[in-house]
Structure 1
Amino acid sequence: MLDELLAAWIGHQRWFGGKGRPIDTLSIDSDVTIEAGDPGLRHLIVSVWQDGSRERYQLLLGMRADLPDTLQHALIGQCGPYAFENGPSHPWWHVYDAAHDPELTHWILESMAGDTEQGVVRFEHLPGVGIDSGVRSMVLGAEQSNTSLVYGDAYICKLFRRLIPGVNPELEIVTALAARQAPHIAQPYGWMEIDLDGTATTLAILQEFLSNSTDGWDLALTSVRDLYNSLPDVTAAEAGGDFAAEAARLGGATARIHRELATAFPTGTVEPHEVKRMAEGLRRKLGRAAAEVPELREHVGMLEAAYHRVEELTAEVAVQRVHGDYHLGQVMRTTTDWVVLDFEGEPGQPLAERRAMSSPLRDVAGMLRSFDYAARHLLAGHAEADKLEPKADQWAERNRAAFLEGYVEGGGTITAADAALLRAFELSKAVYEVIYESRNRPSWISIPLAAFR
């Protein structure tokens, strides 16, 4: 009966990857009792089958005989009878998502602090760091593919809902950089793991919570609003919320992160013939995108020319570990500096691809596209969009230039050959954005299309 309850519930969760498609079957692969009581806590790994393919998810199930009003929003359903081993038995239990129950989530901190094992679930903490297990948790509301628990103003624990066998790149990177005492990262404290398919697999990461900080996207949008609300002849440099100094600092922080990654992990080079194959791959993606989105077709010639410039490169291209999904929403401005978050790469990509070496210019291109998005985000549906478009161009150009200047001054490298590769990465990202917006937010398609002018 529990599997039927979970199958009816899981498809409506925002972190579920198969929304919109029927679930063929759901099976429980692992069921570990963490706390045998009322409330009780079980840790589950479930397999969800859709269209012949399988995805695995991590669930925290709370069980109470009576569910308080404060947890009604987390209710999955009623199930019974069920008896905990050496614990209570009830004919009917209220089963709910225990990530929302601070009475139960303390076990994550306690278990990490003690390096304990709960059945097949293992908990570890970094040597030399202490974990205060007495703070209460609350669920952050903004995440899509994961669930984040904030403990007071001290910690944030990211629970990975959809599980892919292997060590998550974020855990791998932040622990390596913390060991080097690298700046611009949030201090890691511990993690949860389990063996899937014989491979140690990350279930959760506990890191420093940056309580006195602001999201880079929010800061950028505040600057754009200030410019849009200024007098017509006021430039981006003159507007009250000029962002260029922060963009330059962010460029310097990005360069430092890339240097630290190149020291902490192996590096390599890509031969010209491999670069040519990469350009051919970009061209194939462009062909598929143009077939799907008619608005893209008038720009194909320009995009082909940009990719051809990459095919003509004769020098090797340096590659290393990179962030992989870099944009203004992945950085936080603290009271002292910029901090980079979410090193797990694009969640929808295979783990091997997210861990693979790439050109650091991919990260640079991602941030440049993010500046364009920030500049034009507020124009979608705006009554004076045409009048404000020049200001959007001006803001984006000023902050893109400041970011690149900061990146180079911070030790990042962009040669003449790199410029061609950077432009190709940026345009390819914009092609991806055009497809995404056409499928999900058609009124926003003008934002990435502006990149091709």
Structure 2
Amino acid sequence: MEFDDDLGAWVARQRWYAGKSHDPQFRVLDTQTVAGATRYLLMDDAGAVPTLYNVPLAEVSDPGDLEVVTTTAEGHAVVDATRHPAFTVGLLADMGVDTSRVTGSRVLTGEQSNTSIVYDVDGAPAIILKLFRTLHHGENPDVTVQRVLSEAGSPYVPRFYGSADAEWPDVGRDSGAARGTLGFAQEFLPGVRDGWAIALDAAREGRDFTDAAHDLGVAVAGVHGALSDALESMDASPDQLAAVGRAWRRRLAIASAEVPAVADRLAAIDAVYAAALDRPWPRLQRIHGDLHLGQVLAVPHGGWRIVDFEGEPLRPMAERAIPDLPPRDVAGMLRSFDYAGAVGAGPDAAAWAAACREAFLSAYTAAPGAIALDPVLLRALVLDKAVYESIYEARNRPDWLPVPLAGIDAALA
């Protein structure tokens, strides 16, 4: 099948297509024959950074209820292969998973940047496969982190089953090729709800959430400890400290230019940054990097599982693998409690969020082998997160701007 306008238009309509702000300019970088399908690697050259998309397609004589992406010259229908069993089962087998008892597969709806496929398995727990839609050279952090945590027996992540890689042409590399992660398979957890939905309900109704927040603190500390043991850690060098300080102040400058209330607090925020940069820092290590209540799942009668260690999907893989500050994850969760309280708008929302933060921090710091939390550094990270949020809300949801501004004032107080 040759690339045509119908295929380009279909890709541009998908939720996982990241170039919504520009008109796409696709070209076929490579095609690869795989079980039950052809993998099209489509490069979109129109954005600020060229982006490579993973688009497996299958030719079928009878598409049934499946959406037809385009039609071949021979009149065959071309469909999204993630909905075609020959491809989905073959991909799972490529990951080293026994597929002899797989009875069916289905695509989960609501996915944003990737595609998740759930497999029913006769006599065994179901499996979920995350197919990455944007490809980068290097192993995806979601694979690296969840594999090592699973091998370490961590109870705070789903069990990891396997992953698959691919190569594609890359003239910018000496070898002429890049290699990266296509996706990975792990335990599917039925009946779960994400922490954001649960916390929002509790905040709205004014129900106590401190036991759940405590258990989350234990889970995050456990993950940080296991990652510190299993993967590289290092002391922060002067250059790394300076780079973090520049990033903080760059976001602060942008926020000050766009949000007058932040500009009024610029000096006070910068003073906290300066103090944090003069403090001893914990060792840098792998962390989640984007931790909030939407990244944790409550398993019925099974506690919390932390998911989505992928990082920002459009950042280069090498950047996403750089060791970072564990308190950054803590700051992200603290800000998430504030958001749940504010959006839930229940009785005494501020007190509800404060109780969650206290329970989370107490559990995190008391966990065995916990990483010490310097209050000045943590305050700077909370401020940086709230400053970033103020930029986002001012641009996208002005009605929500009071949430990060309240967070800034609370951190400064």
Matched, 1:24 2:33: no
How far apart are residue 31 of structure 1 and its match? 3.0
CA distance in structure 2 between the partners assigned to 1:402 and 1:447 by the alignment = 21
Q: 1:437 to 1:407 in 2, by over 3 A?
A: same
Aligned partner of 2:107 in structure 1 is 139
How far apart are residue 182 of structure 1 and its match? 2.1
Larger RCO, structure (CA 8 Å, separation 6 or more): 2
CA distance in structure 2 between the partners assigned to 1:52 and 1:301 by the alignment = 33
- Alignment partner of 2:265: what SS? helix
How far apart are residue 79 of structure 1 and its match? 2.6
Aligned partner of 1:232 in structure 2 is none
Aligned partner of 2:132 in structure 1 is 160
Any conservation in 1 of the 2:136–2:179 contact (CA below 8 Å)? Answer: no
Q: Which amino acid aligns with 2:185?
A: L
How far apart are residue 175 of structure 1 and its match? 1.3
Q: Which amino acid aligns with 1:106?
A: V
Q: Which amino acid aligns with 2:55?
A: L
* Moved >4 Å (runs of 4+): 130-133, 271-274
Q: 1:280 to 1:105 in 2, by over 3 A?
A: closer
Q: Which has the larger radius of gyration?
A: 1
Q: 1:28 to 1:200 in 2, by over 3 A?
A: closer
How far apart are residue 340 of structure 1 and its match? 1.0
Any conservation in 2 of the 1:272–1:316 contact (CA below 8 Å)? Answer: no
Aligned partner of 1:405 in structure 2 is 362
- Normalised by the length of structure 2, the TM-score is 0.89
How far apart are residue 446 of structure 1 and its match? 2.1
Any conservation in 2 of the 1:98–1:104 contact (CA below 8 Å)? Answer: yes
The residue correspondences of 1:138-287 to structure 2 (distance < 5 A) are 138-152=106-120, 154-196=126-168, 197=170, 198-227=177-206, 241-271=207-237, 274-287=240-253
Q: 1:266 to 1:102 in 2, by over 3 A?
A: same
Q: Which amino acid aligns with 1:344?
A: E
Q: 1:402-449 CA distances to partner (integer Å, 9 max, x unpaired)?
A: 00001011132335xx11111111111111112222222222222222
Aligned partner of 1:393 in structure 2 is 350
Aligned partner of 2:326 in structure 1 is 360
CA distance in structure 2 between the partners assigned to 1:191 and 1:279 by the alignment = 36
- Alignment partner of 2:167: what SS? strand
CA distance in structure 1 between the partners assigned to 2:187 and 2:100 by the alignment = 12
Q: 1:283 to 1:53 in 2, by over 3 A?
A: closer
Aligned partner of 2:38 in structure 1 is 42
Any conservation in 1 of the 2:26–2:42 contact (CA below 8 Å)? Answer: no
Any conservation in 2 of the 1:194–1:202 contact (CA below 8 Å)? Answer: yes
CA distance in structure 2 between the partners assigned to 1:174 and 1:25 by the alignment = 33
Q: 1:77-128 CA distances to partner (integer Å, 9 max, x unpaired)?
A: 2232xxxxxxxxxx2122121223346422223x23xxxxxxxxxx445xxx
**Gaps spanning 5+ residues in structure 1: where?**
36-40, 81-90, 113-122, 228-240, 380-387
- Alignment partner of 1:50: what SS? coil
Aligned partner of 1:76 in structure 2 is 69
CA distance in structure 2 between the partners assigned to 1:49 and 1:284 by the alignment = 28
Q: 1:441 to 1:101 in 2, by over 3 A?
A: farther
The residue correspondences of 1:81-120 to structure 2 (distance < 5 A) are 91-102=74-85, 104-109=87-92, 111-112=93-94
Structure 1, 161-170 or 171-180: larger mean CA deviation: 171-180
- Alignment partner of 1:219: what SS? helix
Q: 1:371-404 CA distances to partner (integer Å, 9 max, x unpaired)?
A: 111111234xxxxxxxx5x711111100000000
Q: 1:357 to 1:444 in 2, by over 3 A?
A: same
CA distance in structure 1 between the partners assigned to 2:212 and 2:344 by the alignment = 20
**Gaps spanning 5+ residues in structure 2: where?**
171-176
- Normalised by the length of structure 1, the TM-score is 0.82
> What is the percentage of aligned positions where both structures have the same residue?
37
Structure 1, 57-66 or 256-265: larger mean CA deviation: 57-66
